[in-house]
Amino acid sequence: MSKVAVIMGSTSDLPVMKDAIDILKELGINVDVDIVSAHRTPEKLFSFSKNAHINGYSAIIAGAGGAAHLPGMVASLSPLPVIGVPVKSSNSIDGWDSVLSILQMPGGVPVATVALNGAKNAGILAAQIIGSSNSEIMDNIISYKEGLKEKVIKGAEEVKKTF
């Protein structure tokens, strides 16, 4: 079974990051969740990042607000794909500092970056990465996307009935 780590800089990020956790579980992927602060627990960050692939993870989703160094630091230490979720936090500049900190990585240290508070898309992207080599997960993603299509079609039918 595939496994994704969902980490965040502090407990205040959990309401946003829960969307990633929920969609990964819905798509049949095991999830481990932890708080790993780039600034307050750097030793934990180093240990987690250097050992994540050994510990069986297929991808890492890292959410952070403010200076948002967590995703980039994890990417600098881990060979796994890292998906960064910029979190609009109380100490951020309307979230733009988080977006730019995660988005503007130097060559050789990629972080796939989703929208501000876009943890659900981070979970879907992690599932798609896993699904490229796991047919069961790929089937789950196809079903999920089919459900999105059906929801739009039903919504369009309701709108047509109304007008």
**Annotated binding-site residue numbers for substrate:** 10, 13, 40
Q: Judging by beta carbons within 10 Å of its beta carbon (0-12, 13-18, 19+), is residue 88 exposed, middle or buried? A: middle
Q: Which residues contact 2 (CB under 8 A, 6 or more apart)?
A: 29, 30, 58, 130, 134, 137
State which H helix or E strand residue 137 sits in.
Answer: helix 135-162
Q: Please give the Cα distance from 19 to 29 (Å, whole number).
A: 14
Among 91, 11, 13, 20, residue whose Cα is nearest residue 60: 20
Q: Please give the Cα distance from 102 to 9 (Å, whole number).
A: 13
Q: Please give the Cα distance from 119 to 6 (Å, whole number).
A: 10
At 1 the three-state DSSP class reads: coil
Binding annotation: 10, 13, 40
